[in-house]
Amino acid sequence: MKTVNELSAEISTNKFEAERLDADFKKTKHTDIDKARRKHKSAVDKIFSRIEFLTTCLRYVETDPSKEFISKEVDRIESRINLIDDGYAYWRTINMLSAMEAERIKEYNKQMGLSTLKSQLQCLKFILNG
């Protein structure tokens, strides 16, 4: 299981890496500045996404949850996600909101809070599997 120190160290490492990328970008001469900017922004955005994920994990770990609690939460959230996925067919017959299937699925997932559940599940699994 991940510890507060491990997560803090990884966050610091990622922040340092982002700062290094910024410094390297400013020092280097670029022939195609727009392409270089997009590539740099993409790399920095990835790092900041990772920092955000690690910060969420750190908040969980700071509450000092037991390994059993995290395992139960993983099971609970996986069950909830499966129920939401299974409930889509029923929901679809009641709510014909748009002609596009993808739009219906997106609306259903939004109403069910599926993205929040999936990010919680990802974070808990990361903490648990260390």
Sorted by where each begins, the domain ranges of the chain are: 1-64, 66-130
Whether residue 1 is predicted with pLDDT greater than 60 in this model: the reply is: yes
How far is 36 from 42, CA to CA, in rounded Å? Answer: 10
CA distance 119 to 127: 12
DSSP-derived secondary structure letter, 41: H
Section 124-130 average pLDDT: 84
| pTM (2 d.p.) | 0.69
Q: Which of 17, 7, 21 is nearest to 52 (CA)?
A: 7
Whole-number pLDDT of residue 45? 92
pLDDT in tens, 91-125: 766 666 555 677 778 888 888 888 888 888 888 88
pLDDT in tens, 29-73: 767 777 878 888 889 999 999 999 999 999 989 999 899 999 999
- pLDDT tens, position by position, 7-22: 999 999 999 999 888 8
Taking residue 8's Cβ as centre, other Cβ atoms within 10 Å add up to 15
As given in the structure block, the two tokens for residue 7 are 């997560």
- Alpha carbon distance 2, 59 (integer Å): 12
Query: What is d(CA 23, CA 14) in angstroms, rounded to the nearest whole number?
Result: 14
Per DSSP, helices labelled H in the chain are 4-27, 33-62, 67-94, 101-112, 114-129
Contact 81, 118 (CB under 8 A): yes
